[in-house]
């Protein structure tokens, strides 16, 4: 990671990306600097002597550590302290070079090397925030993140470092490719951070940035530590599979705990017949961390407005989106508005259909309550298509899905995965080595951490732990990533079984792993999934299409009682028939979330989060939020994306366009797969994303495949999707 990465991470603090959260679906821990403030009682460990190596508990493969992370509370403190000291010394060595002797190699590359060494030495400890089984380790990892944010802000505000880059630029060295881009984007990053403003305004910016960083981390921590549940008698669980009931935690008095973790919450809301119990669980979920996080959100939005004003932007959204493919909030709003207009008729029809299903039980019902939606949607889907998700689940044991997914990716992308000893943070974590199938060249590694445990990150995401980069001797730092998930655990009577939606999610996240680990970018700044925030989901969204192909499903499925029994054609036909069930409502829901995130950050006055949400839901024709609930308090993307949640829909335009080539030339065509690997995955952001798309497609991107995905009539846009706002 270079000083450009420092700037990016520094700007990420402005965008409220937690140190260990790059995005909800693609997570990249970013360690950007060392701090000088104390860590309170937790920070006492930072007084420990640092080991000479600065690392402990490293998992070793060959000559390079796959992931180095301390294994004890004090070990983390000592390792961080050593890394911090070395990092600062390396920076000051570069700063001591006289201005007339500066050049790209001794300044830009040297700072890049210092920064990336620091990141590589500390990323393991930071990652423990999300995965360590030890609460003390997680607290220390949080403390490390807070401490490292202090100097990331301080370094990004240093005039002498900025001037060093300006000195290099003034020399007029002939730079090309990634070298040229690195220097230019680093200088631009400093200028976007406020370099050049009067000192008083810069000092205020520093205060705002640090406060935003602290608030972001607190928001995420509050959600992570929610431990609420519904205690019920097993006799009240009519409608739920016995395997689900068997997997619930038992209480001493013979009752069971239904938690807010998705493997527990989701099936309960879809299948439990007791509407009042669904209501109770829904209210708990809709108020997760509300007391703590609603004030945080209000303060965050106010500080973002002040920050944007100091930097000369009309709003925070104008600041944030300027650096993405969309460029302006107006273009994003136009995109979302057109989607809304196209989706509303279908969504209204789907809502009326579900209300009719509810009225079969309650003829006087005027609407479907929020806590009944999953239940009636599940029942309606089964009635319309005779599709039972629990029947489908029997054909997708987690181990079969994992093995089949890896086989498909290997054949498509020309790689091989070999399991090796993990020496990881938990005994159920697996580690795989990636090699090139044609040459046997080792490329990188990835971890799989797929089952829940207390204190663990609650969703599914791909964490980029070590980014690929060119080393000083011309060799390449092999990337390392980790997929963290929460599949339903096996019980005494059956293995972990996945819903088809979970199969789709796993396939999606595996796409992130490949984007992160197959990179060939020279600098970490452009490596792997470090691409425009509104493009980062496109490669993984594209791969979701594969899990609807019969040939692919044959490789991913096998009944848990008899692996030779693949997903039956009759069941697949039902799944395909039901594929677009409530699609308009689902996509309109995404429009709602993207609009909420955008409007919060376009506003320039006081923001009442719930009032804004109610107005948006009304404009979109969605049911009003349930009184007494506080959804924004648990919408973590408001921190991580900060005016960027629209990217899920925006990137889908490109994802479906990419898949259109696979549709045309063969979903198992290795030539297309290798072209995809070369033009999209390997390049990262070493060139403009639009150039990569054009190189793969052989033409300008367009929206026709996206419209087909939405079930809407195809119509070419007036301008290419790569240069204009993607039009739905």
Residue with tokens 């499925």, as numbered in its chain: 557
Q: Rounded CA gap, 231 and 564, in Å? A: 39
At 497 the three-state DSSP class reads strand
At 415 the three-state DSSP class reads strand
Cβ neighbours of residue 618 closer than 8 Å, sequence gap 6 or more: 624
**Residue pair 310/197 in contact by the 8 Å Cβ criterion:** yes
At 434 the three-state DSSP class reads strand
483 closest CA partner among 517, 518, 532, 437: 517
Q: Which residues are catalytic?
A: 509
- Strands 430-436 and 442-449, how do they pair? antiparallel
Q: Return the structure tokens found at 187.
A: 């200088």
Q: Return the structure tokens found at 84.
A: 């911090």
> What separation, in Å, do the N-terminal and C-terminal C-alpha atoms of the chain show?
37
| CB-CB neighbours of 675 under 10 Å | 17
DSSP string, 299-347: HHHHHHHHHHHHTT-SSHHHHHHTTSSS-SHHHHHHHHHHHHHHHHHHH
State whether the Cα torsion 479-485-491-495 is positive or negative. Answer: negative
Strand order across the beta sheet in which 249-250 lies: 229-232, 256-259, 249-250
What's the Rg (C-alpha) of the chain?
Answer: 25
Q: How far is CA 657 from CA 343, 579, 672, 679, 689, in A?
A: 20, 19, 14, 14, 14
- Note the Cα 714 to chain centre separation in Å: 30
Q: Where are the alpha helices (DSSP H) in 466-549?
A: 500-517, 538-544
**Residue pair 241/219 in contact by the 8 Å Cβ criterion:** no
SS3 sequence of 191-210: HHCCCCCCHHHHHHHHHHHH
Q: Rounded CA gap, 493 and 246, in Å? A: 9
DSSP string, 247-290: TSEEPTTS-EEEESSHHHHHHHHHH---HHHHHHHHHHHHTTTH
- Strands 480-484 and 461-466, how do they pair? antiparallel
Q: Rounded CA gap, 613 and 628, in Å? A: 13
At 16 the three-state DSSP class reads coil
- Note the Cα 388 to chain centre separation in Å: 30
């Amino acid at each position: 990671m270079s000083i450009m990465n420092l700037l990016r991470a520094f700007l990420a603090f402005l965008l409220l990306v937690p140190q260990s959260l790059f995005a909800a679906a693609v997570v990249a821990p970013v360690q950007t600097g060392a701090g000088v403030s104390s860590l309170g009682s937790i920070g006492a460990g930072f007084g420990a002597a640092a080991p000479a190596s600065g690392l402990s508990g490293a998992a070793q493969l060959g000559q390079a550590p796959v992931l180095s992370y301390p294994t004890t509370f004090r070990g983390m403190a000592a390792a961080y302290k050593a890394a911090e000291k070395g990092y600062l010394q390396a920076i000051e060595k570069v700063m001591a070079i006289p201005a007339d002797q500066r050049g790209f190699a001794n300044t830009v590359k040297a700072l890049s090397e210092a920064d990336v060494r620091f990141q590589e030495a500390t990323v393991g400890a930071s990652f423990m925030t999300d995965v360590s089984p030890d609460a003390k380790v997680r607290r220390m990892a949080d403390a490390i993140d807070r401490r490292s944010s202090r100097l990331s802000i301080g370094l990004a505000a240093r005039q002498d470092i900025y001037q060093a880059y300006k000195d290099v630029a003034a020399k007029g060295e002939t730079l090309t490719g990634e070298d040229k881009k690195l220097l230019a984007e680093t200088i631009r990053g400093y200028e976007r951070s406020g370099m050049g403003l009067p000192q008083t305004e810069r000092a205020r910016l520093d205060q705002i940035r640090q406060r935003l960083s602290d608030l972001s981390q607190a928001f995420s921590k509050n959600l992570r530590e929610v431990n609420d549940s519904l205690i019920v008698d097993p006799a009240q669980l009519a409608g739920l599979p016995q395997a689900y009931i068997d997997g619930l935690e038992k209480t001493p008095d013979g009752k069971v705990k239904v938690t807010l973790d998705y493997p527990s919450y989701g099936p309960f809301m879809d299948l439990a017949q007791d509407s009042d119990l669904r209501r109770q669980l829904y209210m708990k979920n809709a108020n997760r961390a509300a007391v703590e996080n609603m004030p945080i959100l209000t303060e965050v939005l106010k500080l973002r407005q002040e920050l944007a004003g100091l930097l000369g932007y009309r709003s925070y959204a104008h600041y944030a989106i300027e650096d993405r493919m969309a460029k302006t909030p107006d273009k994003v709003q136009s995109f979302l508005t057109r989607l809304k207009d196209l989706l509303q008729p279908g969504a209204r029809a789907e809502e009326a259909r579900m209300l009719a299903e509810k009225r079969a039980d309650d003829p006087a019902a005027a609407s479907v309550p929020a806590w009944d939606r999953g239940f009636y949607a599940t029942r309606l889907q089964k009635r319309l298509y005779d599709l039972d998700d629990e029947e489908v689940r029997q054909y997708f044991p987690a181990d079969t899905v994992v093995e089949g997914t890896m086989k498909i990716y290997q054949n498509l992308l020309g790689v091989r995965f070999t399991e090796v000893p993990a020496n990881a943070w938990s005994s159920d974590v697996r580690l795989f080595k990636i090699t090139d199938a044609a040459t046997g060249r080792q490329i990188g590694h990835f971890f799989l951490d797929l089952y829940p445990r207390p204190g663990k990150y609650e969703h599914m995401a791909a964490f980029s732990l070590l980014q690929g980069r060119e080393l000083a001797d011309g060799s390449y730092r092999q990337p390392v990533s980790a997929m963290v998930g929460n599949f339903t655990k096996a019980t005494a009577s059956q293995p972990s079984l996945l819903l088809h939606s979970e199969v789709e999610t796993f396939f999606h996240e595996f796409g992130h792993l490949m984007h992160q680990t197959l990179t060939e970018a020279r600098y970490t700044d452009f490596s792997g999934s470090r691409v425009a925030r509104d493009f980062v989901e496109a490669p993984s969204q594209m791969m979701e299409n594969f899990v609807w192909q019969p040939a692919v499903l044959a490789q991913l499925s096998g009944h848990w009682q008899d692996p030779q029994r693949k997903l039956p054609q009759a069941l697949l036909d039902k799944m395909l028939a039901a594929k677009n069930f409530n699609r308009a409502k689902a996509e309109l829901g995404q429009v709602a979330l993207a609009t909420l995130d955008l409007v919060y950050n376009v506003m320039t006055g006081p923001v009442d989060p719930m009032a804004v949400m109610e107005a948006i839901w009304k404009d979109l024709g969605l049911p009003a939020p349930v009184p007494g609930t506080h959804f924004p308090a648990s919408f973590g993307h408001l921190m991580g994306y900060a005016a960027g949640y629209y990217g899920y829909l925006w990137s889908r335009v490109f994802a479906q366009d990419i898949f259109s080539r696979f549709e045309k030339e063969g979903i198992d065509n290795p030539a297309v797969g290798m072209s995809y690997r070369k033009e999209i995955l390997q390049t990262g952001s070493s060139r403009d994303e639009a150039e990569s798309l054009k190189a793969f497609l052989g033409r300008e991107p367009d929206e026709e495949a996206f419209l087909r995905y939405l079930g809407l009539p195809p119509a070419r846009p007036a301008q290419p999707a790569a240069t204009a706002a993607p039009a739905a």
